[in-house]
Every structure is written in C-alpha cells, then in structure tokens.
A = this chain, B = another copy of it.
Amino acid sequence: MSSSDTATLLIHCPDQPGLVHAVTGFIFAHQGNILDLEQHIDPPENLFFMRVEWAVENFTLAKDDIAAAFAPLGEKYRMGWTLHFSSERKRVALFVSKESHCLYDLLSRHEAGELPVEIPVVVSNHEHLRPAAERFGIPFHCFPMSPATKAVQERAQIDLLREHAVDTVVLARYMQILSEDLIREFPNQILNIHHSFLPAFVGAKPYHQAYERGVKIIGATSHYVTAALDEGPIIHQDVMRVTHEDSVADLVRLGKDLEKTVLSKALWWHVRDKVLVYHNKTVVFS
C-alpha cells in the first residue's frame, strides 16, 4: 500500500478486442505510471472487467479533470465505470448490537492504521456497546428498535449517515434486518457478516443449525446486503474445522474468529476499491 495518492478505475463492459489497450492508452497519454492492473473476462456472459490503479503524482491531468476526460472512452465502449482516489478515504459507519468482537476488531485495526478509512459513527439498537465505541473516541448513536418504531428509527439512521457523509455501512453483527429503504440508499455499499458458509444455514441461529446437522466445518460469509436476506453478492468466506466435541457454545466462540477475519478482509477489499458487483456475484481483484 503506497502512501502517496493513487487513482483507480473500476470498469465493466461487453468484451471486445482492444479494451485494455484503450484504457492503458488513456493513462499513458497523460504520463500515468500504472501500479496495478487486473482484468477478468467472463466468457459465458461476454463481459469484461478491469481494475487499474496509477500514481496521481506526475499525471498530467488534474484529479478533478480525469473523470470528464475518461467519459468519452467509457461511452464508446459502453462501460460502467467508477473513479476513486486513495486519498479520499471511505467514510464507514459500523452497525452493532450486543456482540463486541467485530466492533473491537475493526476499531483496533483502525487505530493501528491497518484500515485506511474514517469511522465517523457507530450505530446500534442497544446501549450495550457504547463504552466500547467511546473508548476509541468514536461517537455512538443508539436507535432502539421495535416493530412500531422501526420505520421512524431507520429514517433517523439514514439522516445520521447522510449527515456524517457515510458511504459504506458495515453490519458488524447487527441483529436487525434492514428495511429496503435503507438498503436502497446504499447499493452495494452495505457489508454484512453472516456466521455460516452461505448458502448453508441462512437466517437465524446458524451455529445451532450447524450443530443440529452435525457438520464438520463451520464458516462465515461477508456479502453485500440486498433485499433478499443472506442472498447478496458474496465478497469473502472462510471456514474452520470442528468436531463432535464442540457444543453450540463452542461453535459460537470459535466462529467469532472467522467472523472477525472474514469481515475485516472483505472491508479491506471494499475500501481499496477491489470489488465489482454484477449478476449478484463479485469480482474481487485481490
């Protein structure tokens, strides 16, 4: 991870010859030095995906002019594309309930400089983790939820997120199902951690389900949140081995390590603009 500023283009479009040449030509024409380039072709869909990152230093286009300069190329090849700068850190809101492990994991990574993001706010439906957030100097907002208040509270949450200019929401073991309104406000920008290897054990109490089924591995999955519960595009998954010796309580305890590493890794890729979503899947340029 270079400390100096970089520009990143994330591109997808119908595949055809000359795409890499055209994009690198744009960068080369303005004396950009490519630091990382990855492309992927999905032959069944005839789709082209690309991520290219170059140094802003010495680039002959001003940062504010790059998008306009690239637009004609994007149009010519019917590209969907986004432009990102490493110096413009994502602003991440952490949503939690009562479990502290993912929250502490992310806050301590952030404090150690491992996660290049801003964390302007921690949101919860309980007061429980207020001390944890405040210990790390992050404002904590509690929105108690009941069926009667949920719609109003979620509207207030959205307002809070907008006020803090949040662009990424991380559900760090937040035990509420988001309404479609909130999801629609942050398309492919809400990361969840589900404590199973999806698509196995969707819904509530996956460790109990795993114990009942007698599986020999447990897992965790981080995915973007969509309207279909636990069915959004998967970013990252991992598993660990368990045995007949492990009770449900053991699975819960052991699984926390998976949840922490899977969520933080997915977030790492997200904030470094490594993830492209299409057809309910992800391309992760890791």
A interface residues (Cβ-Cβ under 8 A, vs B): 1, 17-21, 24-25, 27-28, 31-44, 99-101, 104-105, 108-109, 111-112, 114, 135-136, 197-201, 213-217, 219, 233-239, 241, 243-245, 247, 249-250, 253, 256-257, 261, 264, 279-284, 286
Least CB distance from A241 to B in Å reads: 8
Bound CA span A20–B27, Å: 11
B101 touching A108, Cβ below 8 Å: yes
Bound CA span A256–B264, Å: 12
Least CB distance from A140 to B in Å reads: 15
Partner of A100, one of B32, B37, B111, B236: B111
A39 touching B37, Cβ below 8 Å: yes
User: Can you list 29 A-B pairs with a CB-CB distance of less than 8 A?
Assistant: A18-B24, A19-B34, A20-B34, A21-B21, A21-B25, A25-B25, A38-B38, A42-B244, A100-B111, A101-B109, A101-B114, A104-B108, A105-B105, A114-B256, A197-B200, A199-B201, A200-B200, A213-B281, A214-B233, A214-B281, A215-B234, A215-B237, A216-B234, A216-B235, A217-B239, A219-B239, A243-B284, A243-B286, A257-B261
Look across to chain B and name the residue whose beta carbon is closest to the beta carbon of A248: B44
Copies in the complex: 4
Look across to chain B and name the residue whose beta carbon is closest to the beta carbon of A20: B24
Q: Which residues of B contact A243 (CB under 8 A)?
A: 284, 286
A236 touching B214, Cβ below 8 Å: no
Which of A136, A201, A217, A283: most chain B CB closer than 10 A?
A217
A214-B234, A234-B215 given; A1·B197 CB < 8 A: no
Q: Which residues of B contact A19 (CB under 8 A)?
A: 34
B234 touching A213, Cβ below 8 Å: yes
Look across to chain B and name the residue whose beta carbon is closest to the beta carbon of A108: B104
A237 touching B217, Cβ below 8 Å: yes
Bound CA span A237–B250, Å: 19
Bound CA span A105–B261, Å: 12
A28-B17, A244-B283 given; A112·B135 CB < 8 A: no
Bound CA span A146–B216, Å: 35
Partner of A282, one of B28, B35, B114, B244: B244
Partner of A237, one of B36, B104, B216: B216
Bound CA span A112–B128, Å: 12
Partner of A213, one of B104, B108, B199, B213: B199
